[in-house]
Amino acid sequence: MMFARLRQSLTPTMQYAQQRLDARGVAGVNGVFALALLVALSGVLLAWAGGYHAGFICLNKVSNGLLPDSIWAWITRLGDERVLVLLSLLFARRRPEVFWAMIVAAIFAALYSRGLKNAVDALRPPAVLALQQIELIGPALRGHSFPSGHTTSIFVFCGVLFAFAGTWQERLALLCLAGVVGLSRVALGVHWPQDVLAGAFGGLFAAALGVWLSYHWRAGLKPAVHLWLMLLPLLAAISLVNADNGNPATPLLIYPLLFAMLAQALLDYGVYRR
């Protein structure tokens, strides 16, 4: 009964989302593709100039001088895919076409990131350099370095929002946020700059594919499908409570975020809504 009421209440919302998609088409996708290619070119140039490990020690030392360890730990958690799935609740009810594009893009990103990590299994800085050479924040992770999964995740999230953004100021803010999260992986001492660039490329490319495909395949804008997709933030919340997955522990960030996003979901999907 409750599921039927929720599905019925979502029908106008999904109709408006369809109309917005029809009006804007795939605007913004080309910009995200162009950014992905620019990042890829940067990675090629860095590899040509100094190889896979180029720039790590300098960037690791400089970035640690900019912010305290605790701030970098908070910033890097914004690249945790589970945190980003939770944050997608900000758009799920109000902009379901954005939520659907994020889900589709995340599938491409997961295939890219996890596939390359298992195929390459590159060693991380703590497994290559003496720990005295590294400013290390959090656990000393050692394997599956390429590409940076956190960077891939944040660039997927921000890349989809970039494609839907209405102003250049919003797009610039999104790129800055994603870039700082990517930088945090070097600041923590667990990724090479090349890993971050590879993650940014994969995230942007997946975002562009996700936005393009979600326009042509609108299954996620059916009320029943949308409600089933809402299980993903719930699973992400359960996972965040149970494990840090190699991240620095940040309970002062994670628990308020869990409470805020679950409250958001109750406000948006409460049975009292009409």
pLDDT digits (tens, 9 = 90+) for 244-269: 999 999 999 999 999 999 999 999 98
Per-residue confidence (pLDDT) for residue 18, from 0 to 100: 95
Per-residue confidence (pLDDT) for residue 1, from 0 to 100: 62
Assigned domain for 252 exists:
yes
pLDDT greater than 80 at residue 230: yes
Assigned domain for 2 exists:
no
Assigned domain for 4 exists:
no
pTM over cut 0.85 = yes
Tell me the CA distances in angstroms from 140 to 114, 171, 197, one per residue in order: 20, 34, 21
Cβ burial of 4 (10 Å; 0-12, 13-18, 19+) is exposed
What domain count does the chain have?
1
Assigned domain for 171 exists:
yes
Which among 27, 11, 47, 22 has a CA at the least distance from the CA of 222?
A: 11
- Residue 148 region, left (φ>0) first, then alpha (ψ -120 to 50), else beta? beta
Assigned domain for 58 exists:
yes
Name which of 70-84, 87-101, 204-218, 257-271 the model is least confident about: 257-271
Assigned domain for 142 exists:
yes
CA–CA dist 163, 34 (Å, integer): 12
pLDDT greater than 80 at residue 232: yes
The structure tokens listed for 189 are 């001492």
pLDDT digits (tens, 9 = 90+) for 96-143: 999 999 999 999 999 999 999 999 999 999 999 998 999 999 999 999
pLDDT digits (tens, 9 = 90+) for 189-206: 999 999 999 999 999 999
Assigned domain for 14 exists:
no
Residue range(s) defining the domain that contains residue 65: 24-261
In the chain, the amino acid numbered 255 is Y
Find out whether 211 and 109 touch, Cβ atoms under 8 Å. no
Assigned domain for 245 exists:
yes
